[in-house]
Amino acid sequence: MTGTAWQDFLQRLATARQLRLFLDYDGTLADFAPSPDVIQQDPELISLLYRLAARDKFLLAVVSGRSLQHLRELLPFKGMLLAGTYGLEMQLPDGTCHAVLTLEQVRPTMERVKPRWQQLLDGQYGFFLEDKGWALALHARFATLEDAQRVLSAARNEVEALSPGPAFAIEHRPRFLEIYPVEANKRRSIERILAQHTPPKALPVFAGDDAHDEEAFSAVLDAGGYCIRISREPVETRAQFQLETPAQMRQWLTWLENA
Ligand SMILES: [Mg+2]
């Protein structure tokens, strides 16, 4: 990024006393894993975030659609806030955990959906059913687009036939289907983190790469903060700034560390 606005932004970051840094994980801090069940620690990223988290200036919060357990394994150190399942479950910097809902409110619905989805995947190639505890996701990254469309549409019909009710939302993309509690929402999560876990004077900044992050951008903009969208292509976004890749994102974080 270049330009006056970007330079002003960097200046603001350099001089701010404290920054609340909200960071998405996949597609923002790291390239997408080959499969969502792959948990591959990235020593370079761990070291970078560990150093940032150790400084009083940086209040780090990694906010991801991954389960909290995955995030803990990817980033195995304290000092950061980890918000999993779009913020439904959280680990505070001191290691204490809490969740917005109880699993008892969620599991009965998931247990009804899961066997039906499993049945649809029987004999199919290129699909992966991920049980996040709080959510169920059907990935079709390695299926043909035709198979993906057919199976995910059938899976969506199965969910709708079960009428899970207004407490649950469905996300359906060409190669992805997920059922999750509406409380699992990055915007709500960011509002909670700002209200309950952030000093009022800390400047909020959010970096993310998809539609869930766009929801969260609104909360950060409302709080007078800044947003960075990660995308290789020009994209319609609420964010003031854009970086192209996780590699550029890491360069920016390294710049922050030394600013
Ligand atoms: Mg992402």
pLDDT in tens, 120-132: 999 999 999 999 8
Residues 6+ apart with CB under 8 A from 120: 151, 154, 155, 158
Mean pLDDT of 30-54: 90
Distance 248 CA to ligand 1 centre (A): 15
3-state secondary structure of 242: strand
3-state secondary structure of 243: strand
* Chain position carrying tokens 């900044």: 205
* H-helix or E-strand spanning residue 16: none
5-24 residues labelled b (16+ CB within 10 A) or e (exposed) = eeeebbeebeeeeebbbbbb
The residue annotated as part of the active site, out of 8, 24, 26, 122, is: 24
Q: Is 94 a residue of the active site?
A: no
- Inform me whether the pLDDT recorded for 254 exceeds 90: yes
Distance 28 CA to ligand 1 centre (A): 6
Residues 6+ apart with CB under 8 A from 172: 152, 156
- Inform me whether the pLDDT recorded for 78 exceeds 90: yes
pLDDT for position 153: 97
**Angstrom distance (rounded) from CA 167 to CA 29:** 30
Distance 209 CA to ligand 1 centre (A): 5
Q: What is the pTM of this model?
A: 0.88
Distance 252 CA to ligand 1 centre (A): 17
Domains and CATH numbers, the chain: 4-100+184-258 (3.40.50.1000), 103-181 (3.30.70)
* H-helix or E-strand spanning residue 203: strand 203-208
- From the list 247, 189, 233, 196, the residue with the least C-alpha distance to 213 is 189
Residues 6+ apart with CB under 8 A from 6: 241
* Chain position carrying tokens 């990254």: 141
Average pLDDT across the chain, whole number: 94
pLDDT digits (tens, 9 = 90+) for 195-249: 999 999 999 999 999 988 999 999 999 999 999 999 999 999 999 999 999 999 9
Distance 104 CA to ligand 1 centre (A): 28
User: Within 13 Å and on the Cβ side, how many CA atoms surround 143?
Assistant: 22
Distance 143 CA to ligand 1 centre (A): 21
Cβ distance 148 to 82 under 8 Å?
Answer: no
**Angstrom distance (rounded) from CA 7 to CA 70:** 35
**Angstrom distance (rounded) from CA 186 to CA 169:** 13
pLDDT digits (tens, 9 = 90+) for 145-167: 999 999 999 999 999 999 999 99
Distance 64 CA to ligand 1 centre (A): 7
**Angstrom distance (rounded) from CA 136 to CA 170:** 10
User: Within 13 Å and on the Cβ side, how many CA atoms surround 91?
Assistant: 19
